[in-house]
Amino acid sequence: MATPHPILPASTDPKDFVIATLGSHSALQILKGAKDEGMKTLAICEKGREKLYTDNYPVADEILTLNKFADWDEKLEEELIKRNAIVIPHGSFISYMGHDRVQKLQAMYYGTKDILEWESDRNKERVWMEKSGLKLPRLYPKPEDIDKPVIVKFHGAGGGFGYFVAKTPEQFYEVKNRKYPDQNDFAIQEYIVGVPLYIHYFYSPVTGELEIMSFDKRYESNADSIGRIKAEDQLVAKIHTSYTIVGNIPVVVRESLLPEMFDMGERVIKTSQELCGGKGLFGPFCLETIVTRKLEIFVFEISARIVAGTNPFIEGSPYTALKYDKPMSTGRRIALDIQQAIGAGQLEDILG
Ligand code: AMP
C-alpha cells in the first residue's frame, strides 16, 4: 500500500518544480517535452555525456554530473530535493538503479513504485497478465517439454540480447550448453509466428483516461535481415536468429484493432490497481505483443514506464494528432500530467 510521500512541496505553480531524468534512453524526449510545457529541466549525466543534452540538443536547463550512474548517492538526492525535482524513470534508469534503490528514492518520483515488483518478477508479471485476461504465449516449465518452436530468454537479458530459438529439447541443450553453459535462469516461451507490435499507452490518474499514444516495431539484428538471404544460403552460413535491438520503427495499425487494444490496456490498469491495492500503474506503459495472421494479439511483456519505441514521436504521432492541437510526445504528456496534478493540488496522486 502506498505511503505518503516524504517531501511534498505545497506549491501549485509548476514553475517551482524541475523535471529531471538520467541522460540516456528517452531523456531527450522527456526533457524536450517538459520544456515544451514550459517547465524547468535537469539531466543527470555520466561524465562526458553532458554536451548531448545542452549543446547538441538544448533540452536540459541544468546538468548534474556523475562519474558513473552507479555513483547515484544521498548527495545527489539532496540536490534534487533542494530543487523540487521530479524524477522521471525510463528503461535505463530502472536498469542502472535496480528496483531496490528505486524503492528507496527520497526525491519525488513520477510513477508507481509498487508496481515494479510485479513487473520485475517474471512469475508475478505473468499473474498480472493472466488476471488481465491477455492472450499469452505458452510457457514451458522444462526444456524436455519443448514440442514446437520456442524462444528462450535468459533472465536480465536486455534488449533481446542473447535470446535464441529452438524447436526440440536437443536443440535447446545444444545451444544452451555451447553458448550459455553457466546460465540457468531462463524462461522458455512458445514462439509466436507473427509481427512484433509495441503498444504505447498513457494512463493519467488526473483525468482517469487511458490513451494510446503510438506504436512501434523494433529493428532487430539479425531477425530483420535474415529475409534478405535465400533460405539455402542461411543454412550454409549457419546463421542463428538474434533479436538485439538496433532501433525503433513507427507503425500505424489497422483501425479495427484499436478497440481491443484499448480494452487490453484498461484491463492491465484495473488489475494493477487490484494487485497493488493502491494507485496501481499510471503514466506511460507498453504492451509488447506479437500479432498473428489471424489477428490474435499475444502479449509477452509489460513495460511499466516510457519505452524507447516512443522516441520516433517527439513531434507527436498520428494518434496524438487526433486528440491534441499541439505535438504531443509521451515525454510531453508526462509533463502535462505533472503540471495538471500540481495545479490541482494533487501532486501526491502522481508520485510513487
Ligand atoms: P523483448 O526484449 O522481450 O522485448 O523481446 C525482443 C524480441 O524478441 C521481440 O521484439 C520479438 O521479436 C521477439 N520475441 C519475444 N518473445 C517472443 C515470442 N513469444 N514469440 C515470438 N517472438 C518473440
Residue extents of the structural domains in the chain: 14-113+338-350, 119-135+193-218+245-319, 139-190
Q: How far is CA 42 from the centre of its chain?
A: 21
Distance CA 204, CA 350 (A): 8
Least confident of 18-22, 98-102, 174-178, 263-267: 98-102
Cβ atoms 223, 243 nearer than 8 A: yes
What is the 158 CA–ligand 1 centroid distance (Å)? 11
Share of the chain above pLDDT 90, in %: 76
Does residue 96 surpass a pLDDT of 60?
yes
Does the pLDDT value for residue 1 go beyond 50? no
Instruction: Decide if 331 contacts 306 (C-beta within 8 A).
Output: yes
Closest Cα to residue 112, out of 3, 27, 211?
Answer: 3
Percentage of residues of the chain with pLDDT beyond 70: 97
- pLDDT(137) > 60: yes
Q: Whose CA is nearest to atom 18 of ligand 1?
A: 191
Nearest CA to ligand 1 atom 6: 160
Atom of ligand 1 nearest to the CA of 218: 10
d(C-alpha 309, C-alpha 315), whole Å? 14
Distance between CA atoms of 275 and 20, rounded to whole angstroms? Answer: 29
Q: pLDDT at position 108, please?
A: 96
Please give the pLDDT value at position 158. 62
Q: Which residues contact 230 (CB under 8 A, 6 or more apart)?
A: none
In this predicted structure, what is the pLDDT of residue 239?
A: 81
Give the predicted TM-score (pTM) of the model: 0.93
Which residue has its alpha carbon closest to ligand 1 atom 5? 160
The correct CATH number of 119-135+193-218+245-319 out of 3.40.1520.20, 3.40.50.720, 3.30.470.20, 3.20.20.10 is: 3.30.470.20
pLDDT reported for residue 157: 61
Cell of 279: 494507485
CATH class of 14-113+338-350: alpha beta
Closest-lying ligand 1 atom to the alpha carbon of residue 157: 2
Looking at residue 99, what is its pLDDT? Answer: 84
- For residue 95, the surrounding DSSP H or E stretch is helix 91-104
* pLDDT tops 90 at residue 236: no
Mean pLDDT within 88-116: 91
* Of the listed ranges 92-96, 245-249, 295-299, 330-334, the one predicted with least confidence: 92-96
pLDDT value, residue 42: 98
Q: Selecting from 3.30.1490.20, 3.30.70.1150, 3.90.1640.10, 3.30.70.380, what CATH number does the domain 139-190 have? A: 3.30.1490.20
**At residue 243, does pLDDT exceed 90?**
no
